[in-house]
Structure 1
Amino acid sequence: MESCLEPSLAREVANMHDPIRASSLSPNGMYGFDVPTYCGETEQDNTWAGDWMVFFRDRRIKSLVDRIEDEEIATLGKTMCDQVIPFLLTDFAPAPVPVIIHGDLWAGNISVSRKNGLPVLFDPSSYYGHNEVELGIMKMFGGRSDAFFEEYYKHRPKSQPHHDERIRLYELYHHLNHTLIFGGSYRSGAIRIMNELIEFVKKNSQG
């Protein structure tokens, strides 16, 4: 995608995540979806939950950790679920409104319309969740310029505190999913992120 279209893409994604647009909002005010969806080959449990921390911990991270069946990942995953996820996904602002997300928004699922030259999103892995979960895979694979993020955050301001670490947590989901599907170097990426986040929470939750 040409760099001049990055702000346009950011506005389209931000509009999809608009917490006051009726078509973006969860129909029942909860996180999840009526049916399972797939991220790559992986079926996602979208059973509704009223708490974002619980949904992301149980339906996303724990679900993958259990399926990977790796002792080191299981040990780190337990600490993530017991300590890191509650720390990063509780008491932050703006509060996580459940809006529709694409769910797998890497560069390969973005193109440009031949009709009007505007960005087109396809091959979704959708559910209703915190808008910033969308940014995790963008950070994992890159491909988005500073112009994209600057424009996106104009419309959807960064959640605080610990915004960067929360995005890192959302990125972890995709490292774990790729570990489950492909193995290889994705495993080391997942372990690195978990160790970094565990250390961050250890330092920032003392006292």
Structure 2
Amino acid sequence: MHRFVRPDGRRALRKRRPDMPASFFAAEARGLAALREAGGLRVPEVYAVGADFIELEDLGESTPGADYFRRAGAGLARQHARRDARFGFAHAGWCGDSPQDNTPDADGHRFFAERRLLPQARRARDAGLLEADDAARVEHVCARLREWIPAQPPVLLHGDLWTGNLHCDARGAPALIDAGAVHHGWAEAELAMLTLFGAPPPCFFAAYAEHAPLARDWRERAPLYNLYHLLNHLNLFGTGYLGRVRAVLRRYG
């Protein structure tokens, strides 16, 4: 990542990945545009995008202030107010370095099974990262999703919102970065990922709940939603994530 000042005086950063398909940065540009239109949280402006790079507004960074997390929770709730008729997105995306199929579907449980869990499980099985029994347990989970996950509308998600992608800009405002996984999905799934690798403080979720519906028992379902991200990390980073995947599968599969 290269930071520089543009001829017009605006500070910018350029990310370059010559090892990735052209769709990689195109997906990020589309995701940032969708998030900006929703008006929930600040996102960087896209200055240019090419086959192997994206040039973005440099938001800077600072230390979160006293009201940062409340502002972040309220902003995410505003983003989640942007609904669609179907789950998915008009274009495919990327969750980290993994391609993400966003083919739209009116059925959220089917979308989560067929576009999220099963492709990751097949990829891991083909790579020898999952045993046949593990893969069968993922299929069992998919078959029973309706028993555990209540019906929810498809809302606009960042899609890869771990705490590192919730960014404190130079002014102390919450912002979103790395938006290649944007799609319409379950709001609870977004909140669940925010608890996967660390978590915002309780005031974040309290502020969210002041502006958007939030079931009291949503955290009980967090492992199911996070199974997708754990499988993705298993595929991207190896067997260090296998124990966490299997812990979820033992609980539900």
Q: How does the TM-score come out when normalised to structure 1? A: 0.82
Q: Is the 8 A contact 2:188 2:218 kept in 1?
A: no
Q: Partner of 1:181: helix, strand, or coil?
A: helix
In the other structure, the counterpart of 1:86 is 146
Partner of 1:21: none
Residue of structure 2 equivalent to 1:14: 77
Measure how far apart 1:3 and its partner are: 5.9
Tell me the equivalent position of 2:184: 128
Identity of aligned residues (%): 30
What is the distance in 2 between the residues matched to 1:156 and 1:106? 20
The equivalent residue for 2:225 is 170
- CA shift, 1:147, in A, is 1.2
Query: How far is 1:112 from its partner?
Result: 2.1
**Cα root mean square deviation, aligned:** 1.7
Distance apart, 1:102 and its partner CA: 0.3
- Give yes or no for contact 1:139–1:171 (8 Å, CA) kept in 2: no
Distance in 2, matches of 1:63 and 1:98, equals: 20
User: Are residue 187 (structure 1) and residue 242 (structure 2) matched?
Assistant: yes
Per-residue Cα deviation, 1:34-92 (whole angstroms, up to 9, x for no partner)? 11110111111111101111101111111111111122320211211122x12123xx3
Of 40, 60, 64, the residue aligned with 1:2 is 64
Aligned residue identity for 2:152: P
Per the alignment, residue 155 of structure 1 pairs with: 211
Change (3 A) 1:117 1:180: same
Q: In 2, are the aligned partners of 1:136 and 1:174 still within 8 Å (CA)? A: no
| Higher share of residues assigned helix | 1
1:151 deviates by: 1.5
Matches of 1:173 and 1:136, distance apart in 2:
11
AA matched with 2:138: G
Cα distance in 2, alignment partners of residues 141 and 3 from structure 1: 21
Distance 1:9 1:58, change over 3 A: same
CA contact (8 A) 1:135 1:171 kept: no
Give the counterpart of 2:121 among 59, 65, 68: 65
From 118, 140, 153, the equivalent of 1:97 is 153
Instruction: Give the total of aligned pairs.
Output: 184
User: In structure 2, what is the equivalent of residue 53 of structure 1?
Assistant: 109
CA offsets 1:94-114 (integer angstroms, 9 cap, x no match) = x41111100111122122232
Instruction: Return 5+ residue gaps in structure 1 as ranges.
Output: 19-23, 199-207
Q: Distance in 1 between matches of 2:65 and 2:230?
A: 26
1:41 pairs with 2:101: no
Q: Report the Cα distance in structure 1 between the residues aligned to 2:94 and 2:64, rounded to whole angstroms.
A: 29
Q: By how many angstroms is 1:31 displaced?
A: 0.6
CA distance in 2, matches of 1:81, 1:189: 18
Q: Report the structure, 1 or 2, having the larger strand content.
A: 2
Computing the radius of gyration from Cα coordinates, the structure with the larger value is 2
Moved over 6 A (4+): none
Q: 2:114, 2:70 → 1: CA distance? A: 34
Structure 1 residues 137-146 or 38-47, which shifts more?
Answer: 137-146
- CA 1:113 to 1:2, structure 2 compared with 1: closer, same or farther past 3 Å? closer
